[in-house]
Amino acid sequence: MTRTRIALLAVFLAACQYRGDPQVAAIAGTERINREVTVTNFVPEPVSTDLAGKYWILLTNHSSRQYIFPIDLGVRLLVYSESAGQWRDVENLTTYLPVDGSLVLQPWGNWPEDEVPLSFWPIFDRRPDNSKLRVILVGQDEDGEAVAAYVEIHLNE
């Protein structure tokens, strides 16, 4: 009976581990990614032919805990080059104010404080081989442990 419980616990814990891209976990500094908080892309503005345009995303808390994010939500932008087969960092033209501020994402059910919209303006050359834009957001829980969310936006659609 005890062995069965231990085996079931091991299966449950294995299922809870992050199995996504290891680069995202390395950048975020955690494997708590897209579990408690998620991010979705919505209503991107038209993209110019030479530079990427402004995008809007929505960070949502799905847990009963509160999370603290820097004012820029700890945003990190990367673009994927098909020809190089790798992700590379890109600059964000957006400035978030106040620079030393923070955002508190309230527990699920406390709308609208359980969601935070964020815009960003990635700067990179628009080439046909740049196929995806990855947006990674990093914050922390009430105990100071890192939590993250990310989304990939397909650029050629």
Classified by CATH at the fold level, domain 21-154 comes out as Immunoglobulin-like (2.60.40)
Whether 44 has a pLDDT exceeding 60, the answer reads no
Residue 45 carries which DSSP code? P
Mean pLDDT over residues 5-24, rounded?
50
- The model's pLDDT over 50-102, given as tens digits with 9 standing for 90+, comes to 444 778 899 999 999 999 999 999 999 999 999 999 999 999 998 888 888 89
Q: pTM to 2 decimals?
A: 0.80
- Can you give the residue ranges of every domain in the chain? 21-154
Reported in sequence order, the residue ranges of the chain that DSSP labels E, i.e. its strands, are: 37-42, 55-61, 67-70, 76-81, 86-89, 91-92, 102-105, 115-120, 122-123, 130-141, 146-154
Question: Which has the higher per-residue pLDDT, 11 or 149?
Answer: 149
